[in-house]
A and B are shown apart, each in its own frame.
Chain A
Amino acid sequence: MRQFSPFENKEVTLLDLLDGIIDTGVVIRGEILISIADIDLIIVDLKLLISSIESAFENSSRKIIEEAVDGGTLITG
């Protein structure tokens, strides 16, 4: 059994995360101004992510992905 932590293996759990947080969690209709709940949209995004992850692997380094992910921690423009 291989065990992955959502914090230690970001590239492994990214797809799980997107599968989990985009269309799930509490979706309360009526009062929300903006939300994302379109399944088709998620599939498009997952495909995009796969291609970006694959191209990172082609550059032969796991680090690249980790940096790409870590580089954006918490600070947004």
Chain B
Amino acid sequence: MAQTATTFLYVYGICAAADIGNAERPELQGIGGEPVKISRYNGLAAILTEVDGDAFCQEQIDRQVKDADWLKKHAFHHHETVALFQQQFPLLPMSFCTIFEQDDKLQTLLRNQHDDILRKLDHLRGKQEWNIKMFCSPERLREFVQHKNPSVLSLEREMESMPKGKQFLMKKRLAMLVENELEREKNELWHQVITELEPLISEQLLRQNWGRDMTEITEEMVANCDVLIQIEEADEFFKSIETIEEELKEKGCIFHVTGPWPPYHFSKLAKEHTE
């Protein structure tokens, strides 16, 4: 690699130039130590910082993201910088370590996608991203199915009037029914939740569930969903989740809600415009 000092541009996010007029512009240190700046490009503006080309080349970054301490520190820096601006105006957050070699490349990109980016920013105006994680205790759900599931209860009632021998044979069928109902109940849990929340949600994206090694809680994760909601409906959104949690308590369900996040999961531009 060349040893000459090259400077790259690390970009945190893109916003509309018209929005930054009165916004606060705190003096922030960027990811590489240089100040965080706002560069205007016609109707758009980029929140960026200059970085040393040797320290932020692909090889170096590939190596460093495997270092948990480096990743933690810099991922939070990226997030905090994005969030600081995004709290003031709509911002399309860039992925962590989005780096441009030259300013003219960023300019070309922003010129070519000017209208799409502005449309996206408008769509995000007044909205917030939240993450909902739904957990369920398999033991409590099983208990619920065994004692309160209508199909299970009705088979149990039928069995009561059967002769002892037949009862013994039916026990296997009852056990199978419990397993099937358990699976059905489990699969329906999230559907029930999202159906109730849907009127308050403008976009949703299901993420992969995390295992217990990641969540470190005893309940099993049954849904991990990012949602985009109107800021003014946030209270109603929380109340709805609390109500649902109460309704599903006997099935062993609990919810963790995280946010507000910058719209990390809802900022992608349509594919045809990114080419």
Query: What is the interface of chain A, defined by CB distance below 8 A to chain B?
Result: 1-7, 10, 12-37, 41, 44-46, 48-52, 68-69, 71-77
Contacts and interface: CB of A to CB of B under 8 A. Distances in A.
Nearest to B108: A31
A15 B33 CA distance: 25
Interface string B237-252: 0100110010000000
In the complex, the 7 A-B pairs of residues with the closest C-beta atoms, listed nearest first: A72-B73, A20-B264, A33-B101, A25-B95, A34-B99, A25-B93, A48-B68
Given A30-B275, A33-B8, A20 B261 contact: yes
Interface of B: 8, 13-14, 28-29, 31-33, 56-58, 61-62, 65-66, 68-69, 71-80, 82-83, 92-101, 105-106, 108-109, 113, 131, 207, 210, 213-214, 226, 238, 241-242, 245, 254-261, 264-265, 267-269, 274-275
B179 to A, nearest CB: 30
Contacts of A23: 95
29 contacts: A1-B257, A2-B256, A4-B256, A6-B79, A10-B76, A16-B258, A17-B76, A21-B75, A21-B78, A21-B93, A21-B264, A23-B95, A25-B94, A26-B269, A28-B113, A29-B275, A33-B58, A33-B99, A34-B61, A34-B97, A34-B99, A35-B98, A36-B65, A45-B71, A52-B72, A72-B73, A72-B77, A75-B29, A75-B33
A33 B9 CA distance: 10
Nearest to B76: A69
Contacts of B13: 25-26
A1 B267 contact: no
